[in-house]
Amino acid sequence: METAYVVVTVVAALWVGFSAFSLLRRAAFVVDPLVDYGVPESWWTPLGVAKAAGAIGLVVGLWVPVVGVAAGVGLILYFTGAVVTVLRARSYKTVAFPVLYLVPVAVALGLGFAA
């Protein structure tokens, strides 16, 4: 169980970190949908920083569990909000994208509690 927890947590952190980096670099495949969803550009940097902090928190949580739990809960709330934002924009074909980030974080958090 410990190995699965470490692997899933590191993969989730890398995945979320990639998303943060892409948003902070204003990659078109990230920001174009944000424009379509009506997310103000002034929010993009804080959202990217929040994702980056969550990714770092997941990794730190391997040694300091309370930080990992806080990061995991924060990221679950973040990506749940992203799912709601996509659904409110009626972009049903793209709702899978925030879910692809939400699931690994939730699994990492669950494995952390089980380990």
- How far is residue 101's CA from residue 13's CA, in Å, rounded to a whole number? 10
pLDDT in tens, 53-105: 999 999 999 999 999 999 999 999 999 999 999 999 999 999 999 999 999 99
Torsion-angle region of 76 (φ positive above 0: left; ψ -120 to 50: alpha; else: beta): alpha
If you average pLDDT over residues 43-56, what whole number do you get? 98
pLDDT score recorded for residue 114 = 87
Q: Which of 19, 109, 1 is nearest to 61 (CA)?
A: 109
pLDDT score recorded for residue 89 = 95
Residue with tokens 């998303």: 19
If you average pLDDT over residues 4-10, what whole number do you get? 96
